[in-house]
Amino acid sequence: MKVEVARTLRVKREVSGILLLDKSGGISSNRALQIAKRLFGARKAGHTGTLDPMATGLLPICFGDATRFSSALLGANKSYEATLRLGYISTTGDAEGDISVAEGISCHDLKDMAPQVEMVLKSFTGLITQIPPMYSALKHRGKPMYVYAREGVEIERQPRQVIIHELHLMAMEGDEIRLEVHCGCGTYIRTLAEDIGKALGVGGAYLTALRRTAIDDFDLSQADTLNNLETMSMPERDSRLLTVDTLLQGLTAVVLEAPTAAALRQGRSVEGAGAAVPAPLATALAHWDQQPGSGERRS
**Separation of alpha carbons 86 and 204, rounded Å:** 6
The dihedral of CA 243, 247, 252, 255: what is its sign? negative
CB 181 within 8 A of CB 190: no
**Separation of alpha carbons 57 and 212, rounded Å:** 5
- Span 110-166, pLDDT tens digits: 777 888 999 999 999 999 999 888 777 778 788 877 778 787 888 888 899 999 999
Q: Is it the case that residue 292 has pLDDT exceeding 50?
A: no
Going by C-alpha positions, the residue among 281, 234, 273, 278 that lies closest to residue 257 is 273
**Separation of alpha carbons 146 and 140, rounded Å:** 10
Q: Choosing from 22, 52, 65, 175, which is the catalytic residue? A: 52
Count other C-beta atoms under 10 Å from residue 99's C-beta. Answer: 16
CB 84 within 8 A of CB 205: yes
DSSP tag of 28: -
Count other C-beta atoms under 10 Å from residue 249's C-beta. Answer: 11
**Separation of alpha carbons 168 and 248, rounded Å:** 29
Per the model's pLDDT, the better-predicted residue between 231 and 4 turns out to be: 231
Q: Please give the domain boundaries of the chain with CATH numbers for all domains.
A: 17-75+219-247 (3.30.2350.10), 78-215 (3.30.2350.10), 251-288 (no CATH)
CB 47 within 8 A of CB 156: no
- Span 183-219, pLDDT tens digits: 999 899 999 999 999 999 889 999 999 999 999 989 9
Annotated active-site residue 112? The verdict is: no
Residues constituting the chain: 299
Q: Is 270 helix (H, G, I), strand (E, B) or coil?
A: strand
- Span 148-163, pLDDT tens digits: 878 788 888 889 999 9
Strand partners, 276: 271
CB 288 within 8 A of CB 255: no
Instruction: Please tell me the predicted confidence (pLDDT) of residue 280.
Output: 41
Measure the CA dihedral 94/98/102/108, to 10°.
Answer: 70
Q: Is 64 helix (H, G, I), strand (E, B) or coil?
A: helix
Question: Which strand (E) or helix (H) includes residue 144?
Answer: strand 143-144
- Upper half-sphere CA count for residue 173 (Cβ side, 13 Å): 4
**Backbone phi, psi, residue 46, to 5°:** -160, 155
Q: What rounded mean pLDDT belongs to the chain? A: 83
Cα 138 from chain centre:
15
Per the model's pLDDT, the better-predicted residue between 285 and 137 turns out to be: 137
